[in-house]
Amino acid sequence: MKTKRIAGLALFIALGCPAFAHRLDEYLQATMISLEDKQAQFSMRLIPGVAVSSEVLAEIDSNRDEVISDGEGRAYAERVLGELSLSLDGHRLNPRIVSATFPSIEAMKEGTGEILIEFTAELPGGGANRKLIFENHHETGISVYLVNCLAPQDARIRVLAQKRNRNQSFYELDYVESAATVEAASPLLAGIENLRGAANMFRLGMHHIAEGTDHLLFLLVLLVPSPLLVFGSRWGGPAGLRHSFIRILKVVTAFTLGHSLTLALAALGFVSVPSRPIEVLIAVSIFVSAVHVLRPLFPGREPAIAAFFGLIHGLAFAATLSQLGLDGWARLANIFAFNLGIETMQLVVVAAVLPSLLLLSSTRVYSGFRIGGAVFAGVASAGWIVERVLNVAGPVDVMVDALAHRAVWVAAGLLVFSAVCWWVSGTGQTEPALEQSA
- The DSSP result for 239-307, as a single string, is --HHHHHHHHHHHHHHHHHHHHHHHHHHHTTS----HHHHHHHHHHHHHHHHHHHHS-SSTT-HHHHHH
- Nearest alpha-carbon partner for 114 in 101, 131, 129, 123: 101
Dihedral sign from CA coordinates of 421, 423, 429, 432: negative
Q: Which residues of the chain have pLDDT under 70?
A: 1-24, 178-198, 200, 208, 211, 319-331, 393, 426-438
Collapse the DSSP code of 273 into the 3-class scheme (helix H, G, I; strand E, B; otherwise coil) and give the result: coil
- Comparing CA positions, the residue from 353, 419, 316 lying closest to residue 219 is 353
What gap in Å lies between CA 415 and CA 353, rounded to an integer? 8
Instruction: Label the pairing between strands 27-35 and 143-149.
Output: parallel
What's the pLDDT at 339?
81
The residues facing 43 across adjacent strands are 32, 118
Confirm if 412 and 262 have CB atoms less than 8 A apart: no
What are the helix (H) ranges across 61-186?
70-82, 105-109
What whole-number distance in Å separates Cα of residue 55 and Cα of residue 142? 10
Taking alpha carbons only, the member of 171, 165, 119 closest to residue 149 is: 171
Spatial separation of the C-alpha atoms in residues 399 and 237, rounded to whole Å: 32
Residues β-bridged to residue 132: 88, 173
In degrees and rounded to multiples of 5, residue 117 shows phi and psi of: -120, 125
* pLDDT at position 436: 39
Residue 263 phi, psi dihedral angles, 5° rounding:
-60, -45
Q: What is the Cα–Cα distance from 262 to 272, expressed in whole angstroms?
A: 10
What is the model's pLDDT at position 206? 79
DSSP state of 180: G
First to last CA, the chain: 61
Give tens-digit pLDDT for 338-363: 888 888 888 888 888 888 888 888 88
Alpha helices per DSSP H over 325-395: 328-360, 365-390
Nearest to 214 by CA among 123, 111, 317, 293: 317
- Give whole-number Cα distances, 116 to 6, 34, 107, 259, 397, in Å: 12, 16, 14, 46, 34
Residue 437: predicted pLDDT = 38
- CA–CA separation, 20 and 377 (whole Å): 38
| CA dist list (Å): 182 to 131, 160, 163, 250, 326 | 15, 18, 25, 45, 17
Tell me the residue length of the chain: 438
The Cβ of residue 85 has, within 10 Å, a number of other Cβ atoms equal to 13
CA distance 97 to 118: 6
